Amino acid sequence: MKKLILASGSPRRKQLLEQAQLQFSISTSTVDETITETLSPSEVVEQLAYKKAHDVYMHHNESIIIGADTIVSINGTILGKPINEEDAFQMLKQLSGKHHDVYTGVALISKEKTVVFHERTVVTFWELTPKEMKDYITSGEPFDKAGSYGIQGLGALFVKKISGDYFNVVGLPLARTVRELKNFQHVIS
């Protein structure tokens, strides 16, 4: 049976794979995550997921590597992780009272095959007050999350509705990832 390796230090992705009862190890990718401006959000997440997975695959080529990347996009603008409190506030202000897209790209790489795909989930926020946004930022939760919020934490209080895969917003479209892994020899039955 091939070893499964997650090319991410994300505690949320780790938790999701554990939830699926997969046996895996973690080897964090060190690739540059600079975004090519001319790509669409779906192309960006697929490119970054592939870069991360390929980076780890180069050191573990007898394994199956899972790379993933998540971004938030509103009106064609990609929102990454905030760099400071003001950046987080501006992102949350942009999302307030509107819907936005969350894209997660996934790359599965082994010696035998490579599969790259993405999922898109539409999230609608309630109208947020400046106090709500500031209190949320003070919690510290926004700082390692695309779009400055985590749907699995306090950020859930901002979500009016979602259309699509909830786990995609958390950071990994779990059911699709597991289904794709079943197409790799000797992984899961």
Task: Give the residue among 185, 167, 183, 186 at the shortest CA–CA distance from 175.
Answer: 167
Cβ(4)–Cβ(22) below 8 Å:
yes
Annotated catalytic residue 69 = yes
User: Which member of 55, 69, 101, 165 is catalytic?
Assistant: 69
Instruction: Scan for tokens 């905030």, then name that residue.
Output: 82
From residue 163, give the alpha-carbon distance in Å to each of 28, 99, 100, 116: 30, 10, 10, 22
Task: Give the residue among 63, 62, 48 at the shortest CA–CA distance from 8.
Answer: 48
What positions carry a catalytic annotation?
69
